[in-house]
Amino acid sequence: MAIQQASFLKDKTYRSVSLTHFFVDVLNNSRTLLVAIIAVSIGLTNAQVGIALLLYNVGSALSQPFFGALADRYGPRLFVVGGMVWMIILYSLAAAAGDWIALAAITLAGFGSGAVHPSGAKVASETSDVARTQATGVFFAAGQTGLFLGPILAGLLLEAFGRPGYLILPVLALSAVFAGWRYVKNSSEPQAEAGINSIQTVTKGSRRSISWRTVIPLTIIIMTSSTIGIATINFAPKLFTEVGYGPVYVGLTAGLFMMGSAAGGIIGGTIGDRVGQRVAIFSGMIGAIIPLYLYIPAGDPWRFALLLLSGFFAGMPHSVLVIITQGLIPGRRAFASGLILGLMFFSGAVGSYMLGLLADEVGLAIALQALVLLPIIAATATVILPGRSKSG
């Protein structure tokens, strides 16, 4: 069974979109170090940093359903490859330009992320029929591994060479462009017709199964759980930079959170396939509460362990939530993926902005600790979430 379930790893298209996801999120998460350095250089407040990150994530979030719908209709290749190329160009500019131009380039790069995520998620979820949540979980784990390594690599490069040294990362990402161009095919033109037929079938026969009893708690879970990770990654680097830690230390703390999230995403997806979707979500949210609160006051090396655990538990619901949403719109998986990922990015962006406002009033450390309210809300919403016991 394990061999059968892991067979999706042999698929070259799957590996190509996973590699692309990896490099997209290497760039995505390393941007927090760039923004932190630029913010200190030009004197941005926490609220202004929140606005900059909000604009990036809003661009990514609002574009994802749009790109997802296009990928359903025309196939994923253009959006997987094109989105990666867009990010490479703009992050190269961010490495070489002045502070304000670099900040603008980083902000606009979000549209490339918006193109890749729903298109790649569509490919990943269609690779395996017997382990759809696990395959989706591993795809997202590739991205979260990029989120883990991105700030660590960026920290090393920035400390050794300054901002120009960051250029190495977008150059390495060219390997994903070549792989995507070679192996990702637009084989989904026939599926576009099937998707339209499926939507018509769902509209006629299954609409009543999608109710506010599902949508409201699901939306609450998506918004709260995504804000935990995005706000932590956006502002923990700024907190540690402000108190005097160097780029390597700051990158390591951000990276450990995302390494935990990558592992949590795989475990959560496996639990969703084998035990139950709500079990995976509830366990992750309850488990995140204590380490999320304690990592700020903790000293080293406990801080590293607590950040790892925070990321692990916060990441458990991710692929499960994507699969649940895809199940609500079964004929349009890229659009459904774009919808939920867009909501995740948008919620995290707005939440980060609100956290920035709060931080200017009460201090960044206290504001970050206040995030523990969110997993409590998400766990409560999970209790009332209808759904099947397992993913399928």
The percentage of residues in the chain with a pLDDT greater than 70, rounded to a whole number, is: 89
In a domain, 314, yes or no: yes
Helix 12-42 and helix 212-242: axis angle, to 10°?
50
276: left (phi over 0), alpha (psi -120 to 50) or beta: left
Q: Name residue, tokens 């296009």.
A: 70
Say what the pLDDT of residue 347 is: 86
DSSP state of 384: T
Range of the domain at 258: 14-186+220-383
In a domain, 191, yes or no: no
Q: Is 127 helix (H, G, I), strand (E, B) or coil?
A: coil
Most confident of 55-64, 146-155, 380-389: 146-155
Q: Is 243 helix (H, G, I), strand (E, B) or coil?
A: coil
Residue 5 has pLDDT above 70, yes or no: no
- Residue 16 has a CB neighbour count (10 Å cut-off) of 24
- Provide mean pLDDT across the span 129-138: 72
Say what the pLDDT of residue 6 is: 59
Diameter over CA atoms, the chain: 61
Residue 304 has pLDDT above 90, yes or no: yes
Say what the pLDDT of residue 296 is: 92
- Provide mean pLDDT across the span 378-383: 94
In a domain, 213, yes or no: no
Q: How many Å apart are CA 339 and CA 325, to the nearest integer?
A: 8
Residue 200 has pLDDT above 60, yes or no: no
Q: How many Å apart are CA 242 and CA 222, to the nearest integer?
A: 30
Q: How many Å apart are CA 241 and CA 254, to the nearest integer?
A: 12
CB of 296 closer than 8 Å to CB of 368:
yes
In a domain, 210, yes or no: no
Residue 89 has pLDDT above 90, yes or no: yes
Domain CATH for 230: 1.20.1250.20
Say what the pLDDT of residue 178 is: 95
Overall number of domains in the chain: 1
| Helices (H), ranges, the chain | 2-5, 12-42, 46-74, 77-96, 99-108, 110-125, 132-161, 168-172, 174-183, 189-205, 212-242, 247-274, 277-294, 302-315, 318-328, 333-362, 364-369, 373-383
Q: How many Å apart are CA 62 and CA 85, to the nearest integer?
A: 19
Q: How many Å apart are CA 99 and CA 34, to the nearest integer?
A: 10
Q: How far is CA 231 from the centre of its chain?
A: 12
Q: How many Å apart are CA 316 and CA 221, to the nearest integer?
A: 12
Residue 108 has pLDDT above 50, yes or no: yes
Say what the pLDDT of residue 390 is: 54
Most confident of 12-21, 143-152, 282-291, 357-366: 282-291
The confidence band for 388, taking pLDDT boundaries of 50, 70 and 90, is: low
In a domain, 202, yes or no: no
What would the two tokens of residue 309 be? 């655990």
pTM: 0.72
In a domain, 150, yes or no: yes
**pLDDT per residue over 13-59, tens digit each?**
889 999 999 999 999 878 878 887 888 788 877 777 777 777 777 77
In a domain, 81, yes or no: yes
| Helices (H), ranges, 162-296 | 168-172, 174-183, 189-205, 212-242, 247-274, 277-294
Mean pLDDT estimate for the chain = 83
CB of 235 closer than 8 Å to CB of 47:
no
CB of 337 closer than 8 Å to CB of 125:
yes
The confidence band for 227, taking pLDDT boundaries of 50, 70 and 90, is: very high
In a domain, 374, yes or no: yes
Say what the pLDDT of residue 352 is: 83
Q: How many Å apart are CA 127 and CA 276, to the nearest integer?
A: 21
Cα Rg of the chain (Å, integer): 20
